[in-house]
A and B are shown apart, each in its own frame.
Chain A
């Protein structure tokens, strides 16, 4: 069964450093998403990406964050200058084609900011 893959599984970074989280969505999916989940809290939407551009973003997704689809398979989330409060699980998901389709999540990247 096709799945969303994320790398790395765990990233430890010093505060102020840049991190790039990588995702390979399911191949025939058209909608891509990043979510985060702080330990013990709910899953929070960050950004969605469709047709090579951001379609929606939340208040969390400020100028420190960016997303890219550098080639036909990868989907990346960059955090430019990490803060302690960026420590969380980051999940990539994909869905479609078609709106209101269920989202399939990757295993996540645990980001720890020191």
Chain B
């Protein structure tokens, strides 16, 4: 059974700080890694995806992948109250169907 683990949180950070969200996965054959943001009662919204080891930056967001440690993270710089949401990690392996984690709740307080 493929597992994707996330700390449910909530992770609370002050406005302007860096939020660090973490995800571990069990399938060593995993190939693609996605971060989604989900506001309460809304659908998941794709933020970033990463396929290769290392960092990938897009604006205030940086995804970090370490396949040896089976670990992917999302950094949000200059966190804003509007970033408050649940962040879902999703991983695909031999099948292109992603396995979702339960999500980490992020609260950015002014």
Residue positions of A touching B, CB distance < 8 A:
31, 33, 41-45, 48, 56, 89, 91, 95, 99-108
Contacts and interface: CB of A to CB of B under 8 A. Distances in A.
Contacts of A106: 43
Interface stretch (B64-72, B74-82, B92-100): B92-100
Interface in B77-110: 88, 90, 92, 95-103
Contacts of A95: 96
Interface stretch (B12-20, B21-29, B44-52, B53-61): B44-52
Interface residues of B, number: 23
A66 to B, nearest CB: 18
Contacts, number: 48
Contacts of B88: 43
A108 B34 contact: no
Given A100-B51, A100-B92, A91 B44 contact: yes
Query: Of B31, B32, B45, B98, which is in contact with the most chain A CB atoms at under 10 Å from its CB?
Result: B98
Contacts of A45: 97-100
Query: Of A43, A44, A45, A89, which is in contact with the most chain B CB atoms at under 10 Å from its CB?
Result: A43
A91 B45 CA distance: 12
Contacts of A91: 43-44
A56 B100 CA distance: 16
Nearest to A42: B102
A102 B72 CA distance: 16
Given A43-B88, A48-B97, A56-B97, A100 B45 contact: no
B96 A100 contact: yes
B97 A43 contact: no
Contacts of A48: 96-97
